[in-house]
Amino acid sequence: MRKKFLDENFLLNTRTAEQLYHDFARDMPIIDYHCHLPPAQIAGDTSFANITQAWLYGDHYKWRAMRINGVHESYCTGDQTDYDKFEKWAATVPKTLRNPLYHWTHLELQRYFGINDILNADSARAIYDHSSALLQQPSHSVRNLLRSRNVKVVCTTDDPADDLQYHQQMKAENLDIRVFPAFRPDASMNADNPDNYNRYLDKLAAAANISIHTYDDLLQALQSRHDFFAANGCTVSDHGIEEIYADDYTESEVRAIFGKIRSGKNATFTELRQLKSALLFELAVMDWRTGWVQQYHLGALRNNNSRMMQQLGPDTGWDSIGDFSQARALARFLDRLDTKDQLTKTIIYNLNPADNELMATMTGNFNDGSIAGKVQFGAAWWFLDQKEGMTRQMNALSNMGLLSRFVGMLTDSRSFLSYPRHEYFRRLLCDMLGEEMEKGEIPDDIQLVGNMVQDICYNNAKTYFGW
């Protein structure tokens, strides 16, 4: 029988999958342990004036699709009106068939606004007016958007120099949605451009109230900010880097390299890798000492279009999957920490699907039995958080490790309307397991498998992160 698009059993292709989703997965709370939501908007309980502001501002997924569809940049990041931008997106949506944006767009319209119509150029005006009117109501403030999807925990992404004022405000308010910062020290390692790096170090020094002249000063400033984040509820760090750095170095070499860069001189390629290797290790030790979970997002080749990077800056949709060699350096890095008994709970995400089995087997090398799932192969992210990417990640994890210990999905999003991605993931998980139950590949025990589904959706993350 032909199925209806986006009905209640969307992506669920067996009766058992339907039961797993509706009885076990659907109503589980959400822990979003990595996202890029602005804490200021949660603290202020922002209401958006229209759906363009909620949907298209900062969404480089949609901008990429619009550009590919021949839409001028002025409708993406430019000065066109909010409705005109939305209209161009609406006209693009029919061209996104088989792209996950088509599914996400219509799931979000259904879940947040009760809109079951297909978005296109003809329906744009009515959908814009209806959704925008709702967004202006208290029921659709950002906090209530989170509550509507049963989001219990949000973990934002924050630079060490951030003052965390909005997190402090929310903690003082005793907000029912727990919002935590995550320590993202990438800028403290990005010494490729001495001018930019030194400006950042001045900013970090001011935040830490420590003059940064030497490498040891830098470590002291980072430790100070690490302590400050911990005092403000942070228990998670995150790195968005091309690859793990684990080159050989000595302390004297690193001190000399830092001094060279701090004086405004360019370091060599080898010297930069040595500095990054040293800092990455020291930051990991800080995480271990405090008992944090550390996350590594590996494999993005960023800012490929230099002309548009210069015009618009980073995170505007000019990134791609990279083909970095990941295994050897990752093994060395984790082994250095493990050998010193300084390896904390760790999640590793890859962007290149060719590395799925590599990552799934690598994480198994450093699980020592002290904590269930201590070193995790993280969820499919960015270009891979779609049907095939999620399925391939879960299959690799199942074949090489324990899917049952997986901490599940995250949004990695800047949009408050992105939480149906958790639903999407849960439907795929239930479809996979339901099909295998009906084939006799795993036991026909709905409680056994249903409990595993609930663990992956919520319980594992709650235990792993301690939230």
Model pTM above 0.85 = yes
Instruction: Determine the residue type at 225.
Output: R
pLDDT at 214 over 80: yes
pLDDT at 258: 98
Rounded mean pLDDT of the chain?
97
pLDDT at 171: 96
For the segment 62-66, the average pLDDT, to the nearest whole number, is 96
Coil, helix or strand at residue 183: strand
pLDDT at 367 over 80: yes
pLDDT at 315: 86
Over the stretch 165-192, which tens digit does the pLDDT of each residue have? 999 999 999 999 999 999 999 999 999 9
Over the stretch 263-275, which tens digit does the pLDDT of each residue have? 999 999 999 999 9
Sheet holding 293-298, edge to edge: 236-241, 293-298, 346-350, 375-377
The burial of 393, by beta-carbon neighbours within 10 Å (0-12 exposed, 13-18 middle, 19 or more buried), is given as buried
3-state percent helix, strand, coil for the chain, nearest multiple of 5: 55, 10, 40
pLDDT at 77 over 80: yes
Over the stretch 296-345, which tens digit does the pLDDT of each residue have? 999 999 999 999 999 999 889 899 999 999 999 999 999 999 999 999 99
In the chain, the domains with their CATH numbers are 15-46+142-465 (3.20.20.140), 47-140 (1.10.2020.10)
pLDDT at 1: 75
Over the stretch 272-294, which tens digit does the pLDDT of each residue have? 999 999 999 999 999 999 999 99
Virtual torsion, Cα 100, 294, 328, 321, nearest 10 deg: 20
Question: What is the b/e burial string over 240-261, where b = at least 16 CB atoms within 10 angstroms of the residue's CB?
Answer: bbebbbbbebeeeebeebbebb
pLDDT at 452: 98
pLDDT at 2 over 90: no
Over the stretch 405-442, which tens digit does the pLDDT of each residue have? 999 999 999 999 999 999 999 999 999 999 999 999 99
* Dihedral sign computed on CA atoms, order 31, 35, 39, 44: negative
